Structure 1
């Protein structure tokens, strides 16, 4: 049996990743950088997104993202270069869900309720930090506003 780290996307996960990749391309959402776990299924998700975007931009694949907890991910984000205005993280639950819940202080009621109810595979939490020119080092709990929460099944 393959280690979890080496496990590829299952059928539903592949369909969800493809749907989200198509959504990101349709909405023309291109971050300055993608921070991606080195786990097989995270890299597969990244491949689908890059194909949909026709983009091979700034990508950082990191082994440490696999198994990292929410405080660890926030600390990692705090080390991002100030030149980056937007970052997409492709990681794993429960870390992604816990990180989003920690960073978001407010947002549209429906999106907040949806995010709190279930954070499924390939979900997208778009979070904006309202402090002008906020350096990543200032990233802290409840400093973000949830702009949109998108689940693959809603696409």
Structure 2
């Protein structure tokens, strides 16, 4: 059994003249990220590995999430996660999961929300909206990441630490 944690980045700003990839978190977003990290620690959801989009807002989200932990797991900043579709994110998970039993992916909508919907065996467990700083915890009845497929995950919980 593998566990997949799918996190949408925390609330971001879009200052004039800044490219999308370089958008920073707002102060509220930084607080959301720390809240998610504290929640993950309190509930035993520390990943063995993290895959994070190259965007500034996802990097800052990752830094905030990992800040309360004693030791941060290995992280891969992957440009394939930025603006990725659910199909592409699934491919990244299959390729980047390695020997992790719990994998965290920090990305963007609509891809992250669509991936939750794609993987969920029970569609009624998929939230209608996926605001910033939302974390889905999925249990996958497989032994390796290359085996992850559509419609096989149990949505164990969805935690909303922010809202748009």
Q: Deviations over 1:57-113 (max 9, x none)?
A: 211111221111110010111113552211000000111000011001128x6xx2x
Runs (4 or more) in structure 1 with deviation over 3 Å come to: none
Task: Identify the residue that residue 34 of structure 2 maps to in structure 1.
Answer: 18
Alignment partner of 1:48 out of 64, 84, 93: 64
Alignment of 1:54-65 (within 5 A): 54-65=70-81
> Once superposed, what is the RMSD of the aligned Cα atoms?
1.8
Match of 2:127 among 106, 116, 122: 116
Say whether the 8 Å CA contact 2:51–2:96 is kept in structure 1. Answer: no
TM-score scaled by length of structure 1: 0.86
In 1, distance between residues paired with 2:105 and 2:130? 14
Match of 1:152 in 2: 161
Q: For structure 2, which runs of at least 5 residues remain unmatched after alignment?
A: 1-16
* Aligned pair partner of 2:150 in 141, 146, 151: 141
Closer/same/farther in 2, CA of residues 9 and 81 from structure 1, 3 Å limit: closer
CA contact (8 A) 2:120 2:150 kept: yes
Change in CA separation of 1:84 and 1:49 when aligned onto 2, cut-off 3 Å: same
Q: CA deviation at 1:50?
A: 1.6
Among 33, 37, 61, which residue is 2:49 paired with?
33
Q: Which structure dedicates a bigger proportion of its chain to helix?
A: 1
The CA deviation at 1:14 is 2.4
**Aligned equivalents of 1:82 and 1:22: distance in 2?**
25
Residue correspondences, number: 147
Q: In the aligned structure 2, how far is the partner of 1:100 from the partner of 1:55? A: 27
